[in-house]
């Protein structure tokens, strides 16, 4: 199924989003009391002002939790102001971070702000908030439905090449296996006393179409489900610098120890070219 922006919210919400949202909600109420006290001379107007600020903060956090990118940007801006304010206060008073630990609330705010400034700028979070497809989404979109035309072992005995229609290719430098009806049908790295039958993956996969693609979010392990219920499974052994690589005339995605790295080698408009699509 092609990736659409609306499909972004079908993706699981990053775990840290809920935790950080709850922490921000807890930090809102001390701020409400502080704003209200500053306007105490105005009577009820102080509470109204504090209430409006609190309502906006809670609404922004709700939007942040629901994946609205403007709320992510607002959280980043507030975090940057918090860090700048604390550092400025430390410099003005010629104090240190140890002195700041004597004020638990401010210390928690600073720690949260520093974490958010880094974490919300990581690639998975930017992709989830901007509704843009991840590298795993791109691989799935490009590979699903394609016919496997060849399975070959390269000059390096540990590397296999799976060719697909429309000039697509999957290079496997990591261990992989084929599973059929919960039984092991082939393993690229069998036990030392067992020799791998190199014809078996050709017999099992050639002329079959890919029905589903899944990439494990943390390990980047690749799982391909073919027709006839055959599943190709890869896993990381920590040895190859490049674990697997998918490439076609438009896209190249490389999986290694650092995760997935996409490289668009042609303009998106060329994706409509029937010569390079299903």
| pLDDT greater than 90 at residue 137 | no
Rounded CA gap, 259 and 127, in Å? 14
pLDDT in tens, 97-136: 556 566 677 778 888 999 999 999 987 888 888 877 778 8
> How would residue 152 be classed by pLDDT, with cut points 50, 70 and 90?
very high
State the pLDDT at residue 45: 65
Sheet holding 259-264, edge to edge: 148-153, 160-164, 168-172, 242-247, 251-256, 259-264
Residue with tokens 């261990």: 175
* End-to-end alpha carbon distance in the chain: 12
> How would residue 3 be classed by pLDDT, with cut points 50, 70 and 90?
very low
**Bigger pLDDT: 136 or 41?**
136
What is the arithmetic mean of pLDDT over 158-176?
A: 93
**DSSP reduced 3-state for 87:** helix
Of 66-70, 161-165, 180-184, the range with the highest mean pLDDT is: 161-165
> CA angle 88-93-98, nearest 5°?
85
DSSP state of 36: H
**Bigger pLDDT: 278 or 134?**
134
pLDDT in tens, 212-254: 999 988 788 999 999 999 999 998 876 556 789 999 998 999 9
Rounded CA gap, 86 and 110, in Å? 7
Rounded CA gap, 126 and 109, in Å? 22
Global confidence as pTM:
0.56
**DSSP reduced 3-state for 261:** strand
């Amino acid at each position: 199924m092609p990736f659409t922006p609306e499909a972004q919210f079908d993706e699981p919400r990053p775990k840290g989003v809920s935790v950080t949202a709850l922490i921000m909600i807890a930090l809102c109420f001390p701020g409400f009391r502080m704003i209200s006290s500053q306007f105490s001379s105005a009577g009820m107007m102080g509470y109204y002002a504090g209430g409006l600020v609190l309502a906006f903060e809670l609404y922004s956090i709700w939007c942040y939790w629901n994946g609205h990118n403007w709320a992510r940007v607002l959280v980043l801006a507030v975090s940057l102001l918090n860090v700048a304010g604390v550092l400025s206060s430390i410099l003005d008073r010629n104090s240190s971070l140890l002195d700041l630990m004597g004020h638990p609330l401010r210390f928690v705010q600073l720690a949260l702000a520093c974490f958010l400034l880094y974490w919300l700028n990581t690639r998975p979070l930017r992709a989830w908030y901007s509704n843009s497809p991840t590298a795993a989404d791109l691989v799935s979109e490009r590979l699903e439905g394609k016919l496997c035309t060849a399975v070959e072992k390269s000059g390096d005995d540990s590397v296999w090449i799976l060719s697909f229609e429309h000039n697509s290719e999957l290079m496997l430098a990591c261990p992989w296996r084929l599973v059929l009806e919960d039984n092991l049908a082939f393993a690229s790295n069998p036990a030392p006393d067992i020799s791998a039958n190199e014809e078996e993956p050709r017999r099992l996969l050639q002329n079959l179409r890919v029905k589903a693609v899944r990439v494990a979010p943390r390990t980047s392990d690749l799982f391909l489900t073919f027709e006839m219920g055959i599943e190709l499974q890869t896993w990381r052994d920590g040895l190859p610098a490049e674990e697997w690589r998918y490439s076609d005339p438009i896209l190249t995605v490389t999986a290694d120890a650092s995760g997935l790295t996409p490289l668009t080698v042609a303009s998106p408009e060329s994706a409509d070219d029937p010569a390079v699509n299903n």
